[in-house]
Amino acid sequence: MILFALPAHEPLAAALHDLAGLERGRVAVSRFANQELHAALETDPAGHACVVLGAVAPPDEHMLATLLLCHTLKKEGASTVTALLPYLGYARHDKAEPRKSRATAWLGALLHASGVDEVVAVDVHSSLVHQLFPIPLRSLSPAELFARELATLPLAEPTIVAPDAGARERCEAVRRAASIGRPVAYFAKERTREGIKHSVLHGTVSREAILVDDILDTGGTLVAACEALRRAGAEEMVVMVAHGLFTGRAWEQLRSLGVSRVYCTDTTPPPAGLGAVPVVVLSVAPLLAGWFKRP
């Protein structure tokens, strides 16, 4: 199996090479003078199973380079092409809404048309994404990674909390992996003109709350959840998300609301200057290596 990686994921590719023993393939992705992308393989993929460690989230150049590389590998005779997309961008565009694009289905069609046989990602946003993809999609859970970190914290009787009903399944996975006895609590969430509102808390929380979600984007959902948790009696909070995008500034309010630290993974390289809240970045390399080393 040969691993080809885009430059943005080079540290993760090096870790995968060491942990899973994947052979490294060489490719140069550049632009012609007219700014059109061009991929030139330096490793022959003919007859080999190939893995492309890429990205489909903005900037859009990442998606185009990933698709072009996948297509080139298949054109040159790769037996199979697996797109390893740690953060599956566009997965939140999965709803069927009149006169609005459904980019999740569009992305699946693009990957299929580019010769991709299978997609492997970490904590895909929802089960609906699998239905919209015309090729197999494997979503790997970071629950064990989070559980190992929770075991190092001085927590007496924490409660795992889902910021909305859609996050309950991933919260249950973390609760089981960490052997936490208290049941998961979750909020009913609604979006209003004023922003996100958490109206009803299902279950009870202790003074220590662990908020688990798939994405920290602007942080609006998590900020609203933390405000509601403080009203419910939580005093110390920890946030754990698979994908730390950290866009905008709203998420910086988390510390003032009682969040002692934020855990995320390196599915997407975290931006510089994350000083507002202590951020701990966990590597998904062991999780991905386990997938490729499976029998």
Q: Where are the domains of the chain?
A: 2-140, 143-283
Alpha-carbon torsion (31, 34, 36, 38), positive or negative: negative
Confidence band, pLDDT 50/70/90 cuts, at residue 10: very high
Proportion of the chain above pLDDT 70, given as a percent: 96
Q: How many residues does the chain have?
A: 295
User: pTM for the full model?
Assistant: 0.93
Give ∠ CA 86-249-196 in degrees, rounded to 5.
85
Is the domain spanning 2-140 CATH 1.10.645.10? The answer is: no
CB-neighbour burial class of residue 128 (10 A; exposed 0-12, middle 13-18, buried 19+): middle
User: How is residue 176 written in tokens?
Assistant: 């089981």
pLDDT tens track for 212-250: 999 999 998 899 899 989 999 999 999 999 999 999 888
pLDDT tens track for 163-200: 988 899 999 999 999 999 999 999 887 666 665 665 68
pLDDT tens track for 95-132: 999 999 999 999 999 999 999 999 999 999 999 999 99
More confident residue, 263 or 277: 263
Q: Are 232 and 249 in contact (CB under 8 A)?
A: no
Q: How far is Cα 155 from Cα 135, in angstroms, rounded to an integer?
A: 42
143-283 fold: Rossmann fold (3.40.50)
CA distances from 246 to 40, 90, 110, 132, 160 (A): 34, 16, 27, 27, 22
2-140 and 143-283 share one CATH topology? yes
